[in-house]
Amino acid sequence: MYCVFLPINGGSSSRWQDRIEGSVAEGAALARHTTYRVGGPAKYLVVPATTDDVREVFVSGEDTFVMGAGSNVLVADAGFDGVVLKICNTMAHISVQDGEVVVGAGRLLPSLVNSCVEMGLSGMEWAVGIPGTVGGAVCANAGAFGSATWDCVDYVGVVTADGSCQRLGAADVEHGYRFADFPVVGPFAVTEVAFRLAGSDVGRVHALTEEYKARRGATQPFGAASAGCVFKNPTEGPAAGELIDKAGLKGLTRDGAVVSAKHANFIVNEGGAAAADIYDLIEEIREAVREKFGVTLELEIKLVGDFHRG
Residue-wise pLDDT for 97-118, tens only, equals 888 999 999 999 999 999 999 9
Q: What is the pLDDT of residue 9?
A: 38
Percent of the chain with pLDDT over 90: 90
Which DSSP category does 280 fall into?
H
Gap between the Cα atoms of 135 and 63, Å rounded:
20
Gap between the Cα atoms of 134 and 141, Å rounded:
10
pLDDT band at 14 (very low <50, low <70, confident <90, very high): low
Q: What is the pLDDT of residue 309?
A: 62
Which DSSP category does 94 fall into?
E
Could you say which of 178, 196, 215, 216 is catalytic?
Answer: 178
Which DSSP category does 193 fall into?
E
Helices (H), 40-84: 51-58
Gap between the Cα atoms of 266 and 68, Å rounded:
20
Q: Is residue 84 within 8 Å of 46, Cβ to Cβ?
A: yes
- Stated pTM of the model: 0.91
Rounded mean pLDDT, 219-236: 93
Q: What is the pLDDT of residue 138?
A: 97
Phi, psi of 286 (to 5 degrees): -60, -45
Gap between the Cα atoms of 167 and 44, Å rounded:
28
Gap between the Cα atoms of 51 and 228, Å rounded:
28
Active site residue 229: yes
Q: Is residue 260 within 8 Å of 223, Cβ to Cβ?
A: no
Active site residue 300: yes
Could you say which of 88, 116, 152, 229 is catalytic?
Answer: 229
pLDDT band at 292 (very low <50, low <70, confident <90, very high): very high
Could you say which of 56, 100, 125, 300 is catalytic?
Answer: 300
Active site residue 139: no
Nearest-CA neighbor of 55 among 22, 93, 96?
A: 22
Domains, the chain, in order of start with CATH, read 4-86 (3.30.43.10), 94-219 (3.30.465.10), 240-304 (3.90.78.10)
